[in-house]
Amino acid sequence: MKILVTGGAGFIGSHLIDRLLEDGHEVICADKLVFGDKSIPHLDRRFLESGRFKLYEMELAEQKNTDKLFFENKIDAVYHMAANSDIRKGGEEPSIDFNDTFLTTRVILEGMRKFDVKNIFFASTSAVYGEMPYMELTELAGGLKPVSYYGGAKLASEALISSYVSMCNMNAVIFRFPNVIGPRLTHGVVFDFINKLQKNPRVLEILGDGKQCKPYLYVLDLVEAIAKLTKEFKPGEEIYNISVKGEGTTVTHIAEIVVDVMGLKSVKFKYTGGDRGWKGDVPQFQYDISKILSTGWKPENTSDEAVRQTVIDVLGAMR
């Protein structure tokens, strides 16, 4: 297929592009490069020389830009990864989530409608559920009340996709995933802890009380699931929770893993206090992933293993 990957130069998108090219697809990457790298330094030279990869640096929230993209390329499917991925940053300026997540989704769907593209994968998030700490969350959970602009924009995007699926006979696969980590990480708690400890290996500031506990999913496990469940797009819409099996990892334990892998001793943890790191953060939740496990996919890494391997990946990239 000829596949458009929006946000494809970013952390998750770049790994997805690797996999799609390996599977023989032709890939068009569209990204405004907030976190992405225009040079795509990781991409295998054989893919760059094959003519099966194109990169467009562009603002996807502009309809004329996106329409031109669809006009110039006969696209078979869209893997929509473009969004604001920094919840804290969006919390400081709501327009970021509106523009980079919701408006971008609306423009992409309009481009698909105009040029008769039927298949879309959408990267959603556990943040759409809001705070429901005392129940195991299934895809059918009701009363969704996001507590961040990020979660609100993702949930609004899901609703818009659902309407286009119905009105335009589109086919959609939506993944709601938690914290995704791994090589090429650009921000987040693991990345922040490493940078803080490189600057001061004696004291580590930890936002909140350190008891926040969430599942961390290794990016290659996520990409494997995306590839498996979008190999053939089925009619209508399917939503999947995706995560690891078992317990998540507390922020304090992440700090302990980072300290251990970095080989540091006698590091003092300094907590800022409170039950969460920032306003809009969801300190803990429980996911039901039985639906996606029933497809035959299962993660290779536990949450703790994903954290440890990511620390190794990030440190290796810094050398």
**Contact in structure between 316 and 261 (CB atoms under 8 Å):** no
**Contact in structure between 237 and 175 (CB atoms under 8 Å):** no
User: Do 200 and 124 belong to one domain?
Assistant: no
User: Do 26 and 86 belong to one domain?
Assistant: yes
**Contact in structure between 222 and 14 (CB atoms under 8 Å):** no
Residue 271, domain CATH: 3.90.25.10
In a 3-state reduction of DSSP, which class is residue 165? helix
User: Do 54 and 28 belong to one domain?
Assistant: yes
pTM of the prediction? Answer: 0.93
CA distance 319 to 311: 13
Angle at 28 between CA 26 and CA 30, to 5 degrees: 165
Inside any domain, residue 192: yes
Number of structural domains the chain divides into: 2
Inside any domain, residue 289: no
Residue 10, domain CATH: 3.40.50.720
User: Do 86 and 161 belong to one domain?
Assistant: yes
User: Do 189 and 168 belong to one domain?
Assistant: no
pLDDT at 317: 86
pLDDT along the chain (319 residues), means of 10: 93 92 94 68 65 90 95 96 80 88 97 98 96 89 92 97 98 96 92 96 96 96 98 96 93 98 96 88 90 97 97 91
The range of the structural domain enclosing residue 176 comes to 2-180+217-241
Inside any domain, residue 290: no
User: Do 93 and 200 belong to one domain?
Assistant: no
CA distance 40 to 230: 24
Inside any domain, residue 318: no
Tens digit of each residue's pLDDT (9 = 90 or more) over 37-49:
555 656 666 666 6
